[in-house]
Chain A
Amino acid sequence: MTPVLEIRRASKSFGSHRVLHEVSFGVDAGEVHALVGENGAGKSTLMNIISGIHRRDAGEILLNGESIDPTDPWQARQLGISVVFQELSLTPNMTVAQNIFVRREPTSALGLVHWRQLNDDARALFERIGIDISPTELVGNYSVGIQQIIEIAKAISFDAKVLIMDEPTSALSESEVDRLFSIIAELKQQGVAIVFISHKLGEVLRIADRVSVLRDGEMVGVVNPSHSNQDEIIHMMVGRSLGDLYPAKGVVSDEILLEVEGLSHPPLFRDISFSLRRGEILGIAGLVGAGRTEVARAIFGADRYSRGSVKLAGIKLDLKSPRQAIEKGIVYLTEDRKVMGLFLSMTMRDNIVSSALARFTDALGLLKHRAIVNESLRAIKQNDIRPRDDLLSMTSLSGGNQQKSLLAKCLSANPKVLIADEPTRGVDVGAKVKIHQALRDLANRGIGVIVISSELPEVLGLSDRVVVFREGHVSAVLDGDNIAQADVMRYAVQ
């Protein structure tokens, strides 16, 4: 059987930098073929070559055995190759149907749109993938998860023979991931060839029929998920295994730094109690929606709570704003770096010192430029942010380096307690390792670190103790070196 889409020995260089070297890859009809690799391994470049954003230097792209040469994503879509990009490409103030069929609306000879036909077409499309979304609703009124599904509906509305999804689950909750996977199963049934690009190996193993691993621009190998495991794939991706991924645990003192007692704010969370010791990494596990972020924001003073108390080094806090929390030494690394954490259009330098400007201003309120430069260069070195140019705008950094900058920003406030919410979301394995190491270094310096993460291996690999949240309350506090994933999961769901 010929694959629907086949890449033969594709190569691509940018200047002297070789990004892809003789990569071959194929996907069959009705198959989910996952593509994994660290950031910079060449996944995006491969996808950009297929969709016509970049021109390959050498090699061939075959669709149903015939050589093709798309020059832009639009043309690739016409040919039957649809890419769902990581960033949503929908227009929030237009309706679902208008978004899906933009530029392809059914029209009269004069170009006037047949609105009823348009909405019927959208409805038929949703029926095909078995979902219930109103075509006439504004896209902006739907959650990001549903928008992602609309995006996929748009992609397949081009009669896609090949559907390429780049990190489709990065913004989805567990239940939305399930929904996405059932849509993928439906499309498989219909013979669509699917390329699934993801950092989340658990999901990859769940959905993929084959997994191809890219490393440094070369295809390292193709594995069959039923005969493989995460450890093996990670090993292929980075050349090291899971065991080495997490830093060695440290020595935790007995001194209690932060004590949360009976914190409640129904219906979001109730009766939350736990303590954090100096030098400890405390993991908070639980499903999305279990109240983890809400509790963190309450401790940080960003949201109110109705009952309970938070003590820092034995002194009761009554924080009314994040500003007061930062002054007391509690900082919060937000889970959404683009929306709440970073000033994307500003430079790395401005971002790094933005939480601690008080430290860098003189009595008149003027900025101490030399001190700012020193601090930003120090932070860049300490956190290994690349490239080492603190006057670059944040937008020009990769996800991993943005995340490291965000961490640097939090640290420049000299915290006693750091709350890191999903600190490695959407970053590649290499950056992940560095962030984990940085968090452990902080703990070793006597800072108390709280890590909230939806990735169980991360919580377990990193934490000294794990607090499990379920539906707004603490269902277990687990201690020790050998906490099993299955145990945490049981407390999180039952």
Chain B
Amino acid sequence: MHDAQILKSKQSDGVGLLQRFSLETLQIGALALAIVVFAIIVQLNFPVFLSLPNINVMIVNFLPEAIIALGMTIVIITAGIDLSVAGIYPFSAIIVGLLLLAGAPIPLAIIITLAAGAFIGAINAFISNTFRVHPFIATLAILLILRGVNIIITGGSPVSGFPEAFAIVGQRGIDFGTFLLRYSVFIWLALALLIGYLLRNHRFWRLSYFIGGNRRSARMSGVNVERYLYFVYMLSGALAAVAGVIVASQFNAASNSYGQNLELRVITAVVIGGADLNGGAGSVLGSMLGVLFIAMIYNAFAMSGISTYWQDVVVGAMLLASILMGEVLKRRRAN
């Protein structure tokens, strides 16, 4: 029955777009095209859209999503999911704030907070590894717990009044007159470039694709899958903590209300960027473009004065479109 398949299994080398480029390249290319088209349309109506100050606003508004998406990308590549980031993010803003108010030196406060984020990630991995619970449930439980904890430790009101020097993390930057390029943008850029490069070229980091693509085969190849997932969720937790520290500095305050629905925005961006929830596919470049696209949509709607309820409709439609495109490409290629 499958003889036909065998015959055509590789006789068509290099015919057409579909064969020449990988699925990943095609998806990222299509997303980049969508971004350019969208930007041009908005720009024609609102000339301020692509001005440097406005671009800076877009980046700063979505900096937490962009940083957290780095970890989420790897989590999703391993066929997992991490909802707890939306709890870790305000949690770490609060923790770093409380430590600073208690008089801890700034570097120490930041290090402890990042370690706390990683520790919560380790709990996620522990639950899903040990009890064979799907990470969706494990991280959902942790998210709910953290939301409660965040209110309990703050009493529901924001923590504020941090030392002046802490402002350097998320408030200060290079002044270009019309806009302020914050140092935190460089933190994100450095992390994105580093993680993107390692995920492409580093032996250890690449294992995430094998784990997501076929967990059994990864195990057969000698990968300690459980231990690797500790690494992945700890990284995701630590990156959420990085975002939390930055936002605490940016607003000079920490509130349990930070990060509402953040996990969904991040997952949406990562999936629009070509990651496969079934695992085995995804890239930092794609995820960053996904975040950029969502940032642009939110920004454009805010600018246009159209009801902002429409922005979610557009983001949802875009998510659907990118998933459908991925499926169509996959099928076309299989034939």
Q: Which residues of A contact B (CB under 8 A)?
A: 72-74, 77, 85, 87-94, 98-99, 102-103, 105, 107, 110-113, 133-134, 137-138, 141-146, 173, 175-176, 288-289, 292-294, 335
> A142: which B residues are within 8 A, CB to CB?
9-10
Q: A89-B221, A141-B9, A141-B333 are in contact. Are A173 and B210 (CB under 8 A)?
A: no
Q: A103-B222, A143-B9 are in contact. Are A91 and B1 (CB under 8 A)?
A: no
Q: Let me know if B55 is at the binding interface, CB within 8 A.
A: no
Say yes or no: B3 contacts A289, CB within 8 Å. yes
Say yes or no: A94 contacts B10, CB within 8 Å. no
Q: Let me know if B207 is at the binding interface, CB within 8 A.
A: yes
Number of A-B residue pairs at CB separation under 8 A: 99
Provide a sorted-by-A list of 21 A–B residue pairs whose CB atoms are within 8 angstroms: A72-B222, A73-B222, A91-B214, A92-B213, A93-B209, A99-B217, A102-B221, A103-B203, A105-B203, A107-B203, A112-B201, A113-B203, A141-B333, A142-B10, A143-B6, A143-B9, A175-B3, A176-B6, A288-B3, A289-B1, A335-B1
Shortest CB distance A360–B (Å): 31
Shortest CB distance A282–B (Å): 19
8 Å CB contact of B218 from A85, A102, A134, A176: A102
Interface of A, helix, strand, loop or mixed by DSSP: loop
8 Å CB contact of B221 from A74, A143, A146, A289: A74
> A89: which B residues are within 8 A, CB to CB?
214, 216-217, 220-221
8 Å CB contact of A91 from B5, B9, B204, B210: B210
Q: Let me know if B90 is at the binding interface, CB within 8 A.
A: no
Say yes or no: B209 contacts A91, CB within 8 Å. yes
> B9: which A residues are within 8 A, CB to CB?
141-143, 146
Q: Let me know if B223 is at the binding interface, CB within 8 A.
A: yes
Interface of B, helix, strand, loop or mixed by DSSP: helix
* Interface magnitude class on chain B: 20 to 34
Q: A93-B280, A93-B281, A173-B6 are in contact. Are A102 and B1 (CB under 8 A)?
A: no
**What 10 A-B pairs come out closest when comparing CB atoms?**
A74-B222, A91-B213, A289-B3, A89-B217, A293-B1, A143-B6, A91-B214, A93-B280, A89-B220, A112-B201
Q: Give Cα A138–Cα B9 distance, bound, in whole angstroms.
A: 11
8 Å CB contact of A90 from B201, B217, B276: B217
Say yes or no: A288 contacts B1, CB within 8 Å. yes
User: Which of A102, A105, A175 is packed against the most chain B CB atoms within 10 Å?
Assistant: A102
Q: Let me know if B202 is at the binding interface, CB within 8 A.
A: yes
Q: Let me know if B134 is at the binding interface, CB within 8 A.
A: no
> B214: which A residues are within 8 A, CB to CB?
89-92
Q: Which residue of B lies closest to A93 (CB)?
A: B280
Q: Which residue of A lies closest to B202 (CB)?
A: A111
> A93: which B residues are within 8 A, CB to CB?
209, 213, 276, 280-281
